[in-house]
Amino acid sequence: MKVVRTVACSLCLGVLFFSLPAAAQSGLAPDALKGQVDRQMPELSATYKQLHQHPELSHHEQKTSAFLAGELRKAGYEVTEQVGKYPDGTKAWGVVGVLKNGNGPKVLIRTDMDALPVTEATGLDYASHERAQNPQKQDVGVMHACGHDIHMTVLLGVARELVANKDKWRGTVVLVGQPSEETIDGAKAMVADNFYERFPKPDYILDQHDTNDHAAGHIAIAPGPVLASATSLNVVFHGIGAHGSKPSAGKDPIVMAAEFVVLAQAIVSRQISAQDPAVLTIGTFHAGTKNNIIPDDAVLGISMRAYSEEVRQKLLEGVKRTANGVATAYGVSADRMPEVTVEETTVPTINDVALTERVRKSTERALGSGNVDKGIPVMGSEDVGYFSLDGQIPFVFFWLGAAEPEKLAAAKRSGVALPSNHSALFAPVYDPTIRTGVTAMTAAAMDLLQ
């Protein structure tokens, strides 16, 4: 009886295994995926140009999010809009589309949606001519100068590929349209809105970002730190105002702040290990109203970057210690020490090592190994890492090449870089960039959904 049961059970398991569709075991062949993406390109190109021509600033992505939500609904996703809550209680324009396809892994794929207060200077026939008010109530041009229009277009292409190939994967896909990446508070706003109580918690998170550092047709990927944390600070030096002809009657905050600007550079060069990358940039310096008046205050705006929380804290402590030291040296009283206020912060973007290797292999199969470059860490920042809950959910972020190959090669020879993200001249070569983005992300997602 034991022998009979064992044989019967083994046969039963064999029948169950081989009854699965063959394609579900092997995914989608690269040539088949390429052909499907080719057929999407006319519509995706039109979508890209539409999004590029009508950008919206952070916290104001109402029309953009409605468009993305509508396209996901047409594709067959269950869509929720206005996902996200900012600290002041206002709702964000986040979009979430969910597609369930039986039991299996859960994969979250994210795009950002907001644009920048940049007046476009590309001269393209589909250039943006939009204008809006920034938070300071200034009239500014608005442009997708960071390529979020590429990202959204790619997400829609991936969304349709996953629907068209439902017989070749199993599990749940969660597509996220995130607002306010440029102000690094959109991901936090969505997570704070009970995100993982309302939507499936993923087993994996995938994201990509276009760049002119790599040629269109290529992606770049690397394990470990990819992007740094970002911390924005304001440092206010309090002095005592006086007439410009009699500086000894006051305590000059401009001189204090100027000395701090120089001393602060030693926080990185002399207080942080040379093995730990760190950046401290003083981007703004505001003080005074007239050239013969010593003001009461001087205000500095600082940006700090690091790959670890330990280094970030060392930078922050160094800023406070150095500012207080300068003020003390100038005789400022204890009750008027410099004020250091953290305005914005975001976590580093760190790729899971094992998942990175898996995504590298799946994208190499789809694109060819020669089109998957080795990525290098940069000190720029993103906020997508908040979705990983401090690394609890395996995460991979890769770069999507957006530069015309010949122009990139010429730029490397000359040493004159191509216009980068956030430039008024940033103009991705959209057709091969979108094709590659859709192909790579679809291949990576379908490999995880087996």
Q: Which residues are catalytic?
A: 112, 182
Cα(377)–Cα(399) distance, rounded to whole angstroms? 11
Radius of gyration of the chain (CA): 26
Tokens of 408: 């990139």
Torsion on CA atoms 123, 382, 380, 391, rounded to nearest 10: -150
Which 8-state DSSP code applies to residue 201? P
* 129 SS3 class: coil
The H-assigned helical ranges of 390-429 are 405-414
Structure tokens at 170: 């199993």
Structure tokens at 309: 């929380």
For 53, other C-beta atoms within 10 Å of its C-beta total: 17
User: DSSP 3-state assignment of 439?
Assistant: helix
The answer to whether 108 and 174 are in contact (CB under 8 A) is yes
Rounded distance, CA 263 to CA 265, Å?
Answer: 5
Which residue intervals of 27-183 are DSSP H helices? 30-53, 62-75, 148-164
Give bridge partners of residue 279 from the DSSP assignment: 305
H helices, E strands: number in the chain: 12, 18
How many CA atoms within 13 Å lie on the side-chain side of 307? Answer: 15
| E-only strand ranges, 288-425 | 293-294, 297-306, 339-346, 349-351, 372-374, 395-403
Residues 6+ away with beta carbon under 8 Å from 412: none
**List of residues 6+ apart from 348 with CB closer than 8 A:** 225, 227, 228, 229, 306, 307, 308, 381, 385
Burial classification of residue 21, based on how many CB atoms lie within 10 Å of its CB (0-12 exposed, 13-18 middle, 19 or more buried) = exposed
